[in-house]
Structures are given as structure tokens and as C-alpha cells.
């Protein structure tokens, strides 16, 4: 079992819909990252969270440390949001700073 | 400048070739990373350099040899690769190696080993 689990694995939406991607982790973490990867490869860091909630434009990320759960929300989705969304956990310890990745959620937004 | 650049974008090599991948950043970051990503899988960490010293080696085969000649540059030297090494190789950097540091990724080098 992966230490970081995402759901759903695939998500299809119509333009304008509200989207939620979930991330659960079993390890103790100090920070949780949400990343976006478009076809072609480039990865962009969207958020880094250690508590609470962050918002950037139409994107909102929340984390519940007690429940070991984070969500990424996209409001008013658009076809350009189509990408793979990856959550990644930062643990301390000997691999200080190493990211443990979830398997990714493939999002397709249709016009 | 918040960009990490990687060259080349694409590379095709034979199993007996020697080639190098290059990564550069001018953000003053002191931690740099190499990742390998196979299709439809998340990135896998290979190496981490912190202040130009190798900090983490994730038991990567010796046919991959990293080098950090200065704080802005990271190389990955390739020798005697296998077809299963074909993948997207991503470089990233962060201010320092540590928890809660945002990693900035390059566009990757897509490698095909024949």
C-alpha cells in the first residue's frame, strides 16, 4: 500500500464544474504539496500546506492533519485545467525533504 | 528568474553510448534533485544535492552518475544504459533541502535507450 493515496485516479468533468481531488497519507508529515503536470512533462508546484487552507485563483487546497487528508478543489473548471494532479508528502527523518508521491489524478475537462 | 532549464529536451542513445543531461537554475537555490518518471507513474527520486554535496542517493545503479560542479548546475552522466532506463528525467531545485521547501521543476529530458 502506497503511503500517499489519491482518489479518484481519473476524473472527467464538463467546463464550469466544481472539482475535488482527494489525498490521504499514512505517514506523519510536515508538509503536503500539490503539483500539476501537463502533457509533455513539466511539473508546476501549486501549493505547499502544513495546516488549514490556501487559495490561488480558482484553486483551493485544504489539509486536515488529524485526519491525514488533503483536498484540492478547482472552481469553474476549464479545459486548460486538464492535467495530472499529484499530491506529495514531505516527511522529516533521515530523508529530510524527500517527497513521497501519490499516483496522480488524471483530470480531463471537456468544453 | 524562477526557471529551471534542462538540456537536451530529447535524447536517443544506444546502450554503449555515454551522454550527459544538464540542469541549470539561477534562483540561488542550494538543493537540486534528479527524478526519473516512467509513463503514467509519479516521479521517483534518484539523487539530491545539498550545497553541492550529494545528500541522498536512492540506490540508483552506477550507470547513472550525478555531478554538481557549482551551485547553479547539475549534471547526470549516463553510461551503458538499458532500454528500461527510457523515461522522462526531471530536475528540480529548492531553496534548501528541507521540509516545506517548494521544489521548482524543469521541463525534463525525454530519454530513449535503444
- Nearest CB among A42, A45, A102 relative to B102 is that of A45
pLDDT at A95: 60
pLDDT at A92: 62
Asked if A41 and B108 come within 8 Å (Cβ–Cβ), the reply is yes
What is the share, in percent, of chain A residues with pLDDT greater than 90?
Answer: 74
Q: Residues 6 or more apart from B77 whose CB is under 8 A from it?
A: B18, B19, B20, B64, B65, B66, B67
* pLDDT above 80 for A109: yes
How many whole angstroms separate alpha carbon B111 and alpha carbon A71? 33
Asked if A104 and B48 come within 8 Å (Cβ–Cβ), the reply is no
- Would you state the cell numbers that stand for residue B103, as one nine-digit string? 521544489
Taking contacts as CB-CB distances below 8 angstroms, the residues of chain B near A42 are 105-108
Chain A interface, best mutation among B42, B50, B51, B98, by max A CB count within 10 A:
B42
* pLDDT above 60 for B86: yes
- Would you state the cell numbers that stand for residue A102, as one nine-digit string? 501519490
pLDDT at A93: 60
Question: B42 pairs with which residues across the strands?
Answer: none
How many whole angstroms separate alpha carbon A85 and alpha carbon A74? 11
Taking contacts as CB-CB distances below 8 angstroms, the residues of chain A near B45 are 98-99
* pLDDT above 90 for A30: no
pLDDT at A42: 87
Of B79, B105, B78, B36, residue with least CA distance to A36:
B105
How many whole angstroms separate alpha carbon B13 and alpha carbon B9? 13
How many CB atoms are located within 10 Å of the residue B28 CB?
A: 10
Count, residues in chain A: 111
A91 band by pLDDT with thresholds 50, 70 and 90? confident
Amino acid at each position: 500500500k502506497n503511503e500517499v493515496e489519491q482518489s479518484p485516479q481519473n476524473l472527467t468533468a464538463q467546463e464550469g464544474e466544481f472539482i475535488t481531488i482527494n489525498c490521504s497519507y499514512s505517514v506523519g508529515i510536515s508538509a503536503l504539496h500539490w503539483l500539476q503536470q501537463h502533457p509533455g512533462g513539466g511539473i508546476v508546484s501549486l501549493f505547499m500546506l502544513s495546516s488549514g487552507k490556501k487559495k490561488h485563483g480558482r484553486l483551493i487546497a485544504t489539509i486536515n492533519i488529524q485526519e491525514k487528508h488533503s483536498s484540492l478543489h478547482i472552481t469553474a473548471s476549464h479545459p486548460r485545467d486538464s492535467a495530472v494532479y499529484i499530491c506529495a508528502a514531505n516527511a522529516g527523518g533521515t530523508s529530510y525533504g524527500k517527497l513521497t508521491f501519490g499516483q496522480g489524478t488524471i483530470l480531463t475537462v471537456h468544453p | 528568474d524562477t526557471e529551471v532549464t534542462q538540456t537536451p529536451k530529447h535524447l536517443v542513445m544506444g546502450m554503449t553510448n555515454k551522454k550527459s543531461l544538464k540542469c541549470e537554475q539561477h534562483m540561488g537555490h542550494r538543493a537540486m534533485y534528479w527524478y526519473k518518471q516512467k509513463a503514467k507513474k509519479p516521479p521517483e527520486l534518484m539523487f539530491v544535492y545539498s550545497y553541492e554535496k550529494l545528500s541522498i542517493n536512492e540506490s540508483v545503479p552506477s550507470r547513472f552518475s550525478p555531478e554538481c560542479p557549482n551551485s547553479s548546475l547539475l549534471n547526470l552522466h549516463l553510461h551503458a544504459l538499458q532500454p528500461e532506463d527510457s523515461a522522462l528525467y526531471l530536475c528540480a531545485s529548492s531553496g534548501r533541502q528541507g521540509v516545506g521547501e517548494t521544489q521548482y521543476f524543469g521541463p525534463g529530458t525525454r530519454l530513449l535507450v535503444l
